[in-house]
């Protein structure tokens, strides 16, 4: 993991992680996720499809969007229900 990824990961866990997700606006959550994914897009393009999929899954679990079984986390479901 690169230094910026580590810092961003810590920030998300500390400030925007799963337990605090409901406190963020839906727009802020989407912006955070978009920023993380856009920073990794070049890395994903250079990986084989299976490896890229695995990396994306790990990233989404790490930031609290999904659990290990690829289900949305309860705070994210609640957040989506408030705005969808």
pLDDT digits (tens, 9 = 90+) for 5-26: 455 554 555 544 455 555 777 7
37-77 pLDDT tens trace:
787 787 888 889 999 888 888 888 887 888 889 898 887 78
Structural domain count of the chain: 1
Structural domain for 56, as ranges: 3-83
55 contact partners, CB below 8 Å, separation of at least 6: 40, 43, 44, 47
Exposed e or buried b per residue across 41-57, where buried means at least 16 C-beta atoms within 10 angstroms of its C-beta: eeeeeeeeeeebeeeee
């Amino acid at each position: 993991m690169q230094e910026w990824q580590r810092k961003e990961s810590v920030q998300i866990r500390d400030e925007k992680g799963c337990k605090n997700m409901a406190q963020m606006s839906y727009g802020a959550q989407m912006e955070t996720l978009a920023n993380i994914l856009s920073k990794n897009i070049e890395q994903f393009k250079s990986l084989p499809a299976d490896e890229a999929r695995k990396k994306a899954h790990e990233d989404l679990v790490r930031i609290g969007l999904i659990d290990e079984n690829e289900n949305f986390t309860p705070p994210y479901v609640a957040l989506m229900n408030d705005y969808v």
